[in-house]
Amino acid sequence: MLDFTFKILVTDALLYLLVTAIIIFIVYARKHEHLSAPWRQIKNKKLAMSALVILGFFVITGFLDSVHIRQEIKIDNTSKNQQQVAQYSNEVLSLLDLLLTKMRQQTEKTYSAPFAINSFTKEVADGEQGKPVLYYPRLKYGGAHLQAQDSRIYDIGKRLLWALFWTLSVLVFCILLIAKITDSKNNIENKHINIATRLKNIISGNTNTPWLTILLVMSIPVFFISSIAELGPYYHIMGTDQVGNDVLYKSIKSIRTGLLIGTLTTLIILPFAVVFGITAGYFRGWVDDLIQYIYTTLSSIPSVLLIVAAILSLQVYMTNNPESFATLIDRSDIRLLFLVMILGVTSWTGLCRLLRAETMKLRELDYIQAANSLGVRHRRIMSRHIFPNLMHIVLITVVLDFSGLVLAEAVLSYIGVGVDPTMDSWGNMINGARLEMAREPLVWWNLTAAFVFMFILVLAANIFSDAVRDAFDPRLRKA
Amino acid sequence: MENQANNNLLEVTALKTWIDTEGGIIHAVDGVSFNIRPGETLAILGESGCGKSLTALSILQLIPKPAGRIVSGKVMFSGENLLEKSEQDMREIRGRRIAMIFQEPQSSLNPVMTIGQQIKEVIPDRKNKSSVEINKDIVGLLDSVGMSDSVRRINEYPHQLSGGMKQRAMIAMALASKPDILIADEPTTALDVTIQSQILNLLARLKKENNMSILLITHDLGVVSQMADRVILMYAGEVVEDADAVSFFDAPRHPYAQKLFLSIPDRSKRKKKLDIIPGIVPTYAGDYQGCRFSERCDKAWDLCFQERPQWRAQEKNGVRCHLYNNTLEPQETSDKNIEQGLITADEKQDKAETLLDVKQLKVHFPIHKGIFRRVVGHVKAVDGISLKIGRGRTVAIVGESGCGKTTAGKAILQLIKPSSGEVIYDGARLTKITGEELRQLRKNFQIIFQDPYASLNPRMLVGESIAEGLHALKLESSKAAIQTRVKKLLTQVGMPVDSYGRYPHEFSGGQRQRISIARALAVSPDLIVCDEPTSALDVSVQAQILNLLNDLQNELSLSYLFITHDISVVEYLAHEVAVMYLGRIVEFGTAADILDNPLHPYTQALLSAVPVISKTGNTGYKGDSQVLLAGDIPSPSKPPAGCHFHVRCPQATEICRQQYPAETKTGDSHTVFCHLFESDEQH
């Protein structure tokens, strides 16, 4: 009998849907040369693959954080209750939460600096002769295992060495794995080469796919993860926030929020943009006028205004109907979903315009005319002739929009209309840091942690999207 | 080639330009040598992909970098090797001593600068001149290239000029600094035939006046014949023949040259199959053993595949072919020759059953203006044309660009809604039928397009493209049946069956055109509208497609509506010809009527503007025999009053300015719309 049950949040379900869609797309693309060729080109680019590796770690983290469970509550009085109805905790935890249990549970009283073993703020205690004394108390968890303060550096160093050891072991394992995998691919050149030569090729960077670069880039997050595993339970690596929560844990938890906003929004954008864009461009006339009217109206309203209105009305609804939302996490999840939807509704117009213009160009092409003269129906012309020829634009836009949306979340949370305040997100962290920046001495780690995580994600996404655009842009491909 | 070295203006020796591609290094120009003497026109002739343009660009060090690089060779110009010059020194040469004009006047002019501003930039020594002087220079240049209204043109933008005018402006820019050599890269390919003859005459005149040399790059044997003093023929990066024009046109020596002449369609080959050169120009990555033409040559024998032929010079001329090696006896040729023979049993003069009847067809596009998109006028693209196509017959619509011939073709197929008039196909009035009923009728008439690159969906397999009509009209039910049908079609148009599962980008232009034909044939139509199906193809490939169309007509008794601007194709293929000018048919008759006895002044001008391949070579001015048309085609939104042609017509009279001429029958099958013939009948 399992001692937990799965809890699928709405956004989780959508994410699973998206992942399925991506897998289906990959299978489809493998069969279609015009889709798979650009990806093969990306595969051989060093910078793009480095960005992809980093993105991959973010995605895995986000995905682990999207598998939610409720643990069984162990109750002693089972004897009374013969029916043995399993009781599950109201607390919804993700796989990531379970992996980082220590970091999650070890909360201090309030602020503490990175790797600190004493609190950041002074406390009053009764000193000798009943005089109140101000002092920095030891943290409850951070460095609690240390006897003397001096041994801290030594302890951290020792643990980092262990982390390095783990990293190297993972790398060695990966190299062997890659050497094995490249063998199974029926690459004619590689077929007769033994494993030693292949290893040499990988290490000397003499492979089509830049394995050496990938491995080197990969070693950074791997080292980071093993450091967390080594140091996380004993120190607050990035300090703690006002209520004593581990900042690093919060930053990692924020990855899911950022990713969901960046990806799920496109799920909302795509049907609007594709259907409206193609029909407007293909049929012209009054259909075009109507759709143009809709999107010019929509894009002339400031999108922040729309988002504020939508989020506030949702809040009112949630306060009036508390019974619909069982738990806190349900509430914040619905709010996230709503934000994603409203962001999607306000941002499909750009892609729609692009697709409409491109469709208008395509519909005049000879092969569309030929299809017309062969009596092919409109729906089929749009789906078979026009849509596949727009695919590259869709792909480029989706990837380029991703980083913009991650940043949009931060801005919206900062002005208070973003995700739920209880939800971990970089925007909320930055919002919280407003007051911390005004403190003396400065509490810098909250802002820094949010900034570093967001920066790495957005940078990786931008580099990757540049590569995607280059690979799919027909004008660049010719050059 | 090496004689008279001192006399040469430009000497190119063993020039090699390579291009790096993903597939390897392409030897695009591989050891090209030639000389240009002062005042001489040297034509570089060859199909696309032979390295003609790249040779010219290499001379000026303008090759696309970093993909292309000049590997070796010498380009001696007034005692200096241009290839050793720095970029800064080259700038002194380019545009000043060696000028260049390009094929697309459209893209060679900056759309946001006036003509005057653009010419001003190339006026030599302009810093020491006052603006009045510069303006005078510009007007002088524009006058010298025959630009009408030159003072007004200075302040006009490129989009306000017609294609011919733009090319004149380009030539004016090239001439600004009185260059010694003018490199003209396909200067007339994008222009209509009447405009082409204007430009060619202009070039010939300027050459004489300025004693300038011209390096003319072209694929058109007619243009070469009219212009060149000397010809070099290029094939796959090599010069295969170098001869003075007279001997080249009198007796071409290289098999490739001979084949090129044979593959040009004209009247004398009317009942015969065109002699084709199988395959396409290869692009060899890396070195190639043997003669590059060997794979397409029907005179090739073993040696041709093994050893690259040496250059054989004879007096001034030379050729690169083993056939002219005196020490070798040509062995028996492997017989790759295609069957030659009569293809049509006879040309039926009797009236065939009428398949398509077009009556007073009009297509007017409204011109909207203002906020309320008021209709302020119409572009009368097609303005009342009537014609009949018999079963198994080919009717050609001939005319210059903008005359509405393509619109007419699409309107007949109901791809564009006609404004008025009737199209009756086999008893069905297409103009009255809509929706599902029309969709079902569509299998009877199909269309083939001009641009082989735009006519196939790049994202669909060739097989899927061909099967599309079968799916849409539910002509075959099972998947297997469709597949067999498609494979049969592929064989029918001469494509390998395995093209079924490949994408269009893997095929050459000619092959794609075959696939388009297969797609049209899939629904077994009776009528195919061919919209310039060969004008984007090389001569040798054009011959292949024309042969295929001819074969299919005989096999399936198809009717063609052949839309073209190319008179030689009309001569070869058409049974009846309709000449269109500005949306209307000005003359209609059998091919013999129109070509032997053109009545309408426009038809006469059109026919005489076509450059003729004459055996005597450089004809320069054609003199009196040529009816030179002045000016451009007027805009179809504002056609001139009276006869549309009177503005350009050399024989226009008062009545032509007032009244559009009525139809005049001058023979059984010959009708003409012209006042010149009308009067005879009235009296």
Q: Cβ distance A111 to A239 under 8 Å?
A: yes
Domain-located, residue A433? yes
> Is A417 a member of any domain?
yes
> Do A338 and A422 belong together in one domain?
yes
Q: What is the mean pLDDT of chain A?
A: 82
Whether residue A223 is found in the same domain as residue A269: no
Q: Are residues A206 and A268 in the same domain?
A: no
Residues B449-484: b if buried by 16+ CB within 10 A, e if exposed = bbbbebbbbebbbbbbbbbbbbbbbebbeeeeebee
Which positions ≥6 away from B377 have C-beta within 8 Å? Answer: B366, B367, B637, B638
Please report the pLDDT score of residue A408 as a whole number.
86
Say if residue A280 is in the same domain as residue A349: yes
Task: Please check whether residues A151 and A222 belong to one and the same domain.
Answer: yes
CA distances from A355 to A287, A301, A365, B353 (A): 15, 21, 15, 47
Q: Are strands B354-369 and B527-531 parallel, antiparallel or unpaired?
A: unpaired
Name which of B468, B476, B505, B521 to mutate to probe chain A: the one with the most chain A Cβ atoms within 10 A of its Cβ: B468
Distances (CA, A) of A459 to A23, A183, A466, B130, B529: 25, 33, 11, 55, 54
Q: Is A307 exposed, middle or buried (0-12, 13-18, 19+ CB in 10 A)?
A: buried
Min Cα separation B469/chain A (Å):
5
Quick check: A102 contacting B, CB < 8 Å? no
Q: What is the reported pLDDT for B626?
A: 66
Structure confidence by residue, pLDDT tens digits, B490-535: 988 888 888 888 888 888 888 899 999 999 999 989 999 999 888 8
Q: Are residues A321 and A221 in the same domain?
A: no
Of the three residues A204, A231, A258, the one that is the final residue of a domain is A231
Give the chain A residue whose CA is nearest to the CA of B435: A375
Instruction: Indicate whether A327 and A454 sit together in one domain.
Output: yes
- B-chain residues within 8 Å CB-CB of A375? 439-440, 442-443, 469, 472-473
CA angle B565/B568/B573 to nearest 5° reads: 95
A36 assigned to some structural domain: no
Residues B229-265 pLDDT 10s:
999 999 888 888 998 888 888 888 888 888 888 888 8
Residues A385 and A447 in one domain: yes
pLDDT of B52 strictly over 50: yes
Condensed to tens digits (0 to 9), the pLDDT of residues B448-505 reads 998 888 889 888 889 989 998 888 888 877 888 898 999 999 988 888 888 888 888 8
Rounded to an integer, the average pLDDT of B424-443 is: 87
Instruction: Please indicate, yes or no, whether residues A425 and A292 belong to a single structural domain of this protein.
Output: yes
Provide the pLDDT confidence category of residue B1 given band limits of 50, 70 and 90: very low
Q: Touching check for A371 and chain B: CB below 8 Å? A: yes
Q: Which of A202, A231, A260 marks a domain boundary?
A: A231
Rg (CA), chain B: 27
Residue A367 belongs to domain spanning:
250-472
pLDDT at A277: 94
- Given a cut of 60, whether residue B3 has pLDDT beyond it is no
Q: When comparing pLDDT for B624 and B82, which is higher?
A: B82
Residue B455, min C-alpha distance to chain A (Å): 4
Asked whether residue A310 falls in the same domain as residue A401, the answer is yes
Picking from A289, A373, A378, A389 by the largest number of B CB atoms within 10 A of its own CB, the best residue to mutate is A373
Which of B279-288, B398-407, B503-512 is predicted with the least confidence, judged by mean pLDDT? B279-288
A155 lies in the same domain as A264: no
Residue A369 to residue B449, Cβ atoms within 8 A: yes
Tell me the residue type at A194. N
Tell which residue, A311, A318, A319, has the closest CA to residue A342. A311
- Using pLDDT thresholds of 50, 70 and 90, give the confidence band for residue B345: very low
Residue A281 belongs to some domain of the structure:
yes
Is A456 inside a domain boundary? yes
Query: Which residues from chain B sit within 8 angstroms of residue A34, using beta carbons?
Result: 458-459, 503
Looking at A231, A264, A286, the residue that finishes a domain is A231
pLDDT confidence of residue A280:
94
Residue A8 lies in a domain: no
Q: B448 with B516: CB under 8 angstroms? A: yes
Tell if the CB–CB gap between A374 and B472 is shorter than 8 Å.
yes
Cα(A307)–Cα(A344) distance, integer angstroms: 10
Q: Is the pLDDT of residue B624 over 80?
A: no
Cβ contact (<8 Å) for B443 and A377?
no
**Which residues of chain A have a CB within 8 Å of the CB of B446?**
373-374
CB–CB contacts below 8 A, A to B: 72
pLDDT, chain B, mean: 83
Q: What's the pLDDT score for residue A478?
A: 43
d(CA A319, CA A383): 44
Confirm whether A136 is domain-assigned: no
Cβ contact (<8 Å) for B459 and A366?
Answer: no
- In this structure, is residue A21 part of a structural domain? no
The pLDDT-based confidence of B289 (bands split at 50, 70, 90) is confident
| Same domain for A353 and A220 | no
Taking CB atoms and an 8 Å limit, are B459 and A371 in contact across chains?
Answer: no
* pTM greater than 0.95: no
Q: Name residues 385-414 of chain A within 8 A of B (Cβ).
A: 385, 388-389, 391
pLDDT at A78: 53
Q: Which of B390-394, B499-503, B621-625 has the lowest mean pLDDT?
A: B621-625
Residue B299 CB neighbour total at 10 angstroms: 19
State how many domains chain A has. Answer: 2
Closest Cβ opposite residue A370 in set B455, B473, B503? B455
Residue B618: which of B284, B286, B216 has the closest Cα? B216
Q: For residue A388, what is the domain's CATH number?
A: 1.10.3720.10
Interface check A29 vs B, CB under 8 A: no
* Mean pLDDT in residue range B84-99: 86
Q: How much is the average pLDDT of B44-48? A: 87
Intervals of chain A under pLDDT 70: 1-2, 34, 74-86, 148-149, 181-195, 205-206, 473-479
